[in-house]
Amino acid sequence: MPPMFTRQRWLRWCLAGALSLTACGVSLTLQAATTGATQEDRVMKRALDAARDHRFGDIDQGAIQNHVLAGYVEYHRLKARLSSASADEVNDFIVRYGDSPLAIWMRGTAQTRFGQLGRFDDLLAISDGEPSGTIRQCYYYTALLERDPGRAAEGGDALWHVGSSQPDACDTLFGTLSRRGVLTDEDTWARMMLAWQSGQGRLVSYLQDQLPSSWQPAIASYERVHGNYAGVTDIPLTLGPDGQASGALIAATFHAFTRADTEAALEAWRKMAPHVNLTAERRNEIEHDLAFYSMVRDVNNNQGWVDETLPRLADTDLIELRIRNAVTEGHWPTVVRWVETLTPEARQDAHWQYWLGRAREAMGDDARAQQAYAIAAEARNFFGFAAADRLGEPYHLQMANTQVSTLQQELTSMLPVVKRTEALMRIGEEGLARSEWYTAAARDSEEQAEALADYAIRQGWYAMAVQTTIAAKQWDALPWRFPAAYRDAFLQWGDHNQVDPYLLMGIARRESAFNPEAMSPVGARGLMQLMPGTANHVARDLGISAPATSALFDPQLNIQLGSHYIQSMLERYRGNRIAATAAYNAGPGRVDRWLKSAPSEFDRFVESIPFRETRDYVQAVLAYRVIFESLAKQGDTQGVAMLSPTERQGRYDATLIARN
């Protein structure tokens, strides 16, 4: 190893090709020996469990001091004595474990503890800028009150202006800023209005009690409109100093009014808008809400105002919603008008180029339609593939080379993060292993992130490989982003249930990114994210015992049950994968309702799905199945079709529902 090189830096230079093959190869031989002793791992696991329980006397420090995971025990030792530890000790730990999430966790934990103890100089000494998390931010800006009052005021102001309660850690900061005149009665009123908008009634009452009697006219106006939003037109424009309270009250009232009765709210706004003195930000906020809810709720009487207002708001999301509505309604000239209103960057997106092509085609302008389709077809997504189908061309995968040299593979296996990850896996600490891996993937160079993704694939760590590509933004590394994870099981159960196995793989990739232990906030489990109730229902259909919830983390069982469930959805919708996929995400009851009022063409049906999550889900799963099938053919898309002729040309209406 060259002098003045840490082992980690040397490995990175080798991976990047900055050192000669000979230099790397010679040192590689010297570094090849590893202990990997099972007994050492068991001792380490016992020590880690003891450290978590603060049973430090049970730890044989000599037995673990050379173990690659010794830092985890040291982390718990230092964490347990942070009350008396110095900033230098904390910084020393952070430096020594700078390539591990241990450093991040230690800094955050110490910031919180030092803040609780009022050790603000030490807190600043271990910080490297604004921390994450509200509690740590409150302590951080409290620490800056004397050292940098301007930054403290700026940070405290941002923490104050939220519509929810803040933790007790903010009390000193807010109290000091109030005494200094940084936070005024106007700020209390502004936060009271934000709390009203957020439905935080207790916070509204608390803040109202903090206002002096001079604010009684403003409070009385709030109480009048609180239960009668139409009274917004009667709000005096002179509430508070310089009328500032009026603007906040008007904005908050329209927030509630627009959601309660969008048509009446717009009528009131059109009367008031020319006469009220509001900041540009508040005016745009009111008009954005009115435009959004007018379009989402299809308020016909508001459409003229919406079309007049959208160019002035110049909000891409609102314009895209206007295009979606026009597509759903089949108003093709309107589609063209609003696509051309998008910014040049947004307009080039395959999604909108596809609809521009469809609109041009419907209007008889085939030449310009073909141009738009050609732009869209370059993309590797649902609308890109749909555009390629329109052109009769094979799909463009835009796949990057994912070849990693043997030397890179060997060097990667010796990286400290790899050693720690493997050791954590061996002792059953998969969560910590993933933290190590993802921290490295997000932090390291492009070359090293590629090597990590390759290593994860070769180890069968499919979920970690996928997340590595996300953290490193390796969007074109398709073999790593879409690995052949559990391929045999998908083929087996796809064949058994007569379900497209690539559709199953697309669903699993979207649902869990191939993490067999994934669990959603609502309790969906495993590769295909089955709810226990759904799994029990499917098990009854199959004539097998209802599985324990823990059994749903077994890939084989999860795929068996998930493939049977999607097969039942395919039966329900006459084999149509678009409708079945939508039902897998949103439930068949909703899809049945959508089909009864949806546009009849496949692309317009997908665009008309009212739930954005389901709309994106369907597009992703069907695009993913194309990628999986193409990768199975070594990246060749010739003969690969996203949809069958029946799915492309059939009608999307109630006749698609075979059974209820």
Task: Tell me the catalytic residues.
Answer: 511
Beta partners for 525?
519, 530
* Cα–Cα distance for residue pair 606/469, rounded to 1 Å: 28
| Secondary structure letter of residue 232 according to DSSP | G
Q: What does the block give as tokens for 211?
A: 């206002």
DSSP H or E run through 389: helix 382-391
Give rounded-to-5 percent helix, strand, coil for the chain.
70, 0, 30
What does the radius of gyration of the chain's CA atoms come to, in whole angstroms? 30
**338-623-634 Cα angle (round to 5):** 135
* Amino acid symbol at 480: W
What is the spatial distance between Cα 373 and Cα 497, in angstroms, rounded to a whole number? 36
Closest CA to 552 of 569, 565, 533, 535: 535
Site of tokens 């060997």:
410
Q: Which residue has the tokens 């497209």?
A: 500
3-class DSSP assignment, residue 519: strand
The Cα–Cα gap between 349 and 473 comes to 19
Nearest to 314 by CA among 290, 288, 278: 288
Please report, in angstroms and rounded to a whole number, the separation of the first and last CA atoms in the chain.
Answer: 70
Using alpha carbons, list the distances in angstroms from residue 499 to 249, 549, 564, 569.
Answer: 56, 25, 8, 11
CA-CA distance, 562 to 509, in Å (whole number)? 13
* Phi, psi of 525, deg, nearest 5: -130, 145
Query: Do 501 and 490 touch, CB atoms closer than 8 A?
Result: yes
Cα angle for residues 301, 305, 311 (degrees, 5° grid): 145
Instruction: Check if the beta carbon of residue 214 is closer than 8 Å to that of residue 206.
Output: no
Distance in angstroms (rounded) separating the CA atoms of residues 574 and 554? 30
Ranges of H-type helices in 414-554: 416-426, 430-443, 446-459, 462-471, 478-481, 487-497, 501-512, 532-542
Exposed / middle / buried, residue 87 (Cβ in 10 Å: 0-12, 13-18, 19+): middle
d(CA 265, CA 260): 8
216 DSSP 8-state letter: H
Q: Tell me the one-letter amino acid at 288.
A: H
**Side-chain-facing half-sphere of 90: CA atoms under 13 Å:** 27
